[in-house]
Amino acid sequence: MTYTPPKLFTFEQFIAEYGDNPRYELIDGELRDMEPTGLHEEVSGNIAGRIYAEILHDNLNWLIPKSCLIKPPAAEATALRPDVIVLDKVKLSQEPLWQKEPIICNGNTIKLVAEVVSTNWQDDYARKVEEYAFLQIPEYWIVDFRGLGGLQFIGNPKQPTFTVCQLVNGIYQQQQYRLGDTISSPLLRNLQLKLDDVML
């Protein structure tokens, strides 16, 4: 039996072939199927709705695009597609690709990113923690509503976990919340949210 390595894509090839397909993202040239399910999309939508309500309530000049890619400047063949992304409207004018494509290149345009964990949980708990911290994104949520992450990330026994990562001196400080816990967001201080709320 021979091993066939996966086809590698450049950023440009990925955009041409999969840029409009919300199912895929690109990490180091490798195509990643994000395997979204109906429940995954429901949780993502619930999170986006809760954040958007806070944006309106606090009269923040932010937006949540329906679809968006992040092109980390240091990673040549990577295009991340977060489940929920919050952008600073003022900073969009400095984005070189935004007028033609929903692609963000500058981390300072991004206020918050949320990833809803699916079977490729390693990307959310490891790779993206590093990538989003390097981009200086102030807050990153990892929403593991099915408790899929590795034991070193969510503990034993595995259980649904909501992790809020706050950027402090270039490194994410992580706070975990379980079912029933009230989640605290340094960015959205008036947010009233529990993991239970986004799973309904």
Indicate the Cα dihedral angle 158, 52, 188, 42, nearest 10°: 0
The count of other CB atoms within 10 Å of the CB of residue 37 is 12
pLDDT for res 127: 86
pLDDT for res 1: 61
pLDDT for res 7: 84
DSSP annotation of 188 reads: S
Instruction: Give the separation between CA 140 and CA 94, rounded to whole angstroms.
Output: 22
CB 40 within 8 A of CB 108: no
pLDDT for res 200: 60
Instruction: Give the separation between CA 25 and CA 38, rounded to whole angstroms.
Output: 18
Phi-psi region of 111 (alpha: psi -120 to 50; beta: other; left: phi over 0): alpha
CB 83 within 8 A of CB 47: yes
SS3 93: helix
pLDDT in tens, the chain (200 residues): 666 667 899 999 999 999 889 889 999 999 988 877 889 899 999 999 999 999 999 999 999 999 899 998 878 899 999 999 999 999 999 999 999 999 999 999 999 999 999 888 888 998 899 999 999 999 999 999 999 999 989 988 999 999 999 999 999 999 999 999 999 999 999 998 999 988 86
CB 188 within 8 A of CB 34: no
pLDDT for res 119: 83
Among 139, 6, 129, 115, which Cα is nearest to 72's?
A: 129
Instruction: Give the separation between CA 158 and CA 100, rounded to whole angstroms.
Output: 43
What tokens were used for 138? 């102030």
The count of other CB atoms within 10 Å of the CB of residue 49 is 12
Instruction: Give the separation between CA 33 and CA 119, rounded to whole angstroms.
Output: 10
